[in-house]
Amino acid sequence: MSQAPTTPEWDPTALLGPEIARELQVATLVFAGTTAVLIWDILHHLGDDYYLLFKYKFRLATAAYFVSRVASLFYALGFTLFATYPIPDCQTAMTIFNCGLLVSSSATSLLFFLRVRAVYGGQRLPTCIFGFLWICVVAAAVTVPISTQATRVGTLCLVTKVPSYSGAASTVLMVNDTSVVLAISYRLLANTHRDQSVGDKLRKFFSGAPHLHNFSKAVFRDGQKYYMITIVSNAVTISMVYALPLVQSTTA
């Protein structure tokens, strides 16, 4: 009499089923690809970062920039490890790695708060508005490490709970980024085209403001590029967070 086949405890594919295993494989590839691109970007800009750190006056914006870079790398490397390596304590590891997201988003938002404050010459009202938005970004980001849960399945770690309210981190970040880009763009266009109508200024905004001075044009277009990347990535993140309950019910 032959024995019934048993499910090997070390094989997450056998424990979770092919559909969930395929999703995990895709997530692993995304983490690995993101980490590779981030490392390439850091190596590509090592010379610029060296001059920024050692050849120029060290300011709060400089500190925010490097904290953002290091925290982003920590977060990306951490979750690549989380998805590929048999970590003994998955919950602790996930909390620690998600703290990288908290620090990274807070530092990046601080960097753009300092930029919009500089563009407005330190005026009180813009400083208060965007200072409040920065605090909201930090508060929303705190929900990520304290709310998500993970467990060990076979040899790998698996996210088991991501409350829908944790998507507030990406939502608030998107609102903040949109506000910063619009505020900076408005200020740059208002200073250069004071005699033009609102419609003309909107056309300048969507055409890339070709008549701005070189420095203002660089700041303007840099903000547009950053916003396009951010809006897409945050929209994808939000949609993934709110789609997670279906995966949870499948794995439960």
**Secondary structure E strands in the chain:** 149-153, 156-161
Tokens representing residue 202 in the block: 């909107």
Provide the mean pLDDT of the chain.
76
- What is the model's pLDDT at position 7? 43
Residue 161: CA count within 13 A, CB half-sphere: 11
What's residue 110's pLDDT?
A: 93
Give dist(CA 231, CA 175) in Å, integer. Answer: 9
pLDDT computed for residue 49 by the predictor: 87
For the chain, domains (ranges, CATH) are 14-251 (1.20.1070)
Which portions of the chain are predicted below pLDDT 70? 1-18, 191-252
Q: Which pLDDT tens digit goes with each residue over 59-74?
A: 898 999 899 999 989 9
The end-to-end CA distance of the chain, in Å, is 33
